[in-house]
Amino acid sequence: MPIVVKNLTHIYMPGTPFQSVALQDVNWTIEDGEFWGLIGHTGSGKSTLIQHLNGLLKPTSGEVIIDGVNINERGVNLREIRQKVGLVFQYPEHQLFEETVEKDVAFGPKNMDLPEEEIGRRVREALELVGLNYSEIKDRSPFELSGGQMRRVAIAGVLAMKPKVLILDEPTVGLDPRGRDEILREIVRLRERQNITVILVSHSMEDIAKLVDKIAVMHRGRMVDSGTPREIFRNYEGLSSIGLDIPQITHLMLRLKHQGKDVSTEVLTVEEAEAEILRAARRKGRA
């Protein structure tokens, strides 16, 4: 189910004194099974862009084509699109509302008019996918769980609709390092098991570097760059000029290179840096 964004422009409150261009001529192709990171300064248009991918916002001009269908054409069933393209907002736990975890996760599939057994099966499966023990947690109130658990219940609610594409808007913000690692691990596992397409919006370049296949960079409503993490993070000057960082470890390698050291700067994780520095030290007979 590829998604093609073509010449997408979105203007908020057009024709009023408050008119503002949120997206300008964005082109983006997301193939099946890809794992994308979407980065950009606050206000760069990331959230506006992802809300177009399941029809929550309509383009001012341009198209969003999912599985060959322009989703903004008359007669397109947007409810179906929203089941296929699951969107997890920031702080999704604020949207929990039911008395029990089970009921909360079942809310989406219930609206899909599925048979009872199928709903039950999906709820169980979704909770287990996010690393929660179904029988232990199903009857508890979502509001007495820890922050990390609440967030996973909220994500399970989207997974229970069996989306083909999962979009997560800053899923780890506000969590402690362990909570963050757990959520990210679940996302990776989910992709391996369900082979779904994932789009991750994040401010953490370290997380992005570790996880995704491709990165799209937004700045002032335009998609200014896209490519593999190595390609994107190579452009340190360009990224910092639009207020973005690169992973600390990549920055270190760039600094060593500037000092005239013979090291690769295409390093994205601590493990890779370790190997690269050991290699360089060996060449000098220091290790």
Which residues of the shown chain bind other proteins in the complex (CB under 8 A)? Answer: 41-43, 146-148, 173-179, 203, 206, 243-245, 247-249, 251-252, 255-256, 259, 261-263, 270, 273-274, 277-278, 280-281, 284, 286-287
* Minimum CB–partner distance for residue 66 and other proteins (Å): 29
Taking the complex as a whole, the smallest distance from the CB of residue 249 to other proteins amounts, in Å, to: 4
Is 142 in a helix, a strand, or coil?
A: helix
Give CA–CA dist 125/228, Å, rounded.
32
Nearer to other proteins, 112 or 270 (CB): 270
Q: Which of 33, 179 has the CB closer to other proteins? A: 179
Query: Is 22 or 277 the residue whose CB approaches other proteins more closely?
Result: 277
Taking each helix axis as running N to C, give the angle between helix 101-111 and helix 116-129, from 0 to 180 degrees, rounded to the nearest 10: 120
Nearest to 181 by CA among 222, 138, 152: 152
**Cβ 251 to other proteins shortest distance, Å:** 6
The tokens for 147 are 């922050």
Q: Which amino acid is at 243?
A: G
Rounded least distance, CB 283 to other proteins, Å: 8
Distance of CA 37 to the CA centre of its chain: 6
- How much of the chain is in helix, strand and coil states, percent to nearest 5? 45, 20, 35
CB closer to other proteins out of 42 and 135? 42
